[in-house]
Amino acid sequence: MQYMLLCYADEKGWGELGEEGQAAIMDDYAAWGQAIVKSGHYRASAKLGPTSASTSLREQNGKRITTDGPFAETREQLGGFHLIECKDLDEALAIAGRIPTLRVGGTVEVRPVERSSET
């Protein structure tokens, strides 16, 4: 079963860590990433750009509307994702529980990936 680990963090808080604090977290991410590759759980991952670089697309009254940034103002923003393969939710939660985002006040959402009958 595949699980998407969605990592949310406060962009402002990330900036307040400073270069040394950010480097330490990224070193921890690298070690975590190497561990899930070695264990065979890794499928894909990516760090996302800042919300200031995003565009939201919606449809309203039959017309497409684009706006800068995320749809809702929240304290936490989606900063990246990891796609993993696990035997069950418990294993996915154990892997997610080691993500460095949690140590800086972030949130990791663990969501099963549903496969369509076409794939």
Gyration radius (Cα) of the chain, Å: 16
Dist CA 33 CA 48 (whole Å): 16
Cα separation, 82 vs 84, whole angstroms: 6
Which residues, in sequence order, are CB contacts of 94 under 8 Å at separation 6+?
none
Q: Which tens digit of pLDDT belongs to each residue from 76-95?
A: 888 899 999 999 999 999 99
User: For the chain, which residues make up each domain, given as ranges?
Assistant: 2-112
Work out the number of other CB atoms within 10 angstroms of the CB of residue 107. Answer: 15
What's residue 88's pLDDT?
96
Instruction: Please state, rounded to an integer, the average pLDDT across all residues of the chain.
Output: 89
Task: Indicate yes or no: pTM above 0.95.
Answer: no
Q: What is the pLDDT of residues 14-47, one digit of tens each?
A: 888 889 999 999 999 999 999 999 999 999 999 8
Class of domain 2-112: alpha beta
By residue count, the chain amounts to: 119
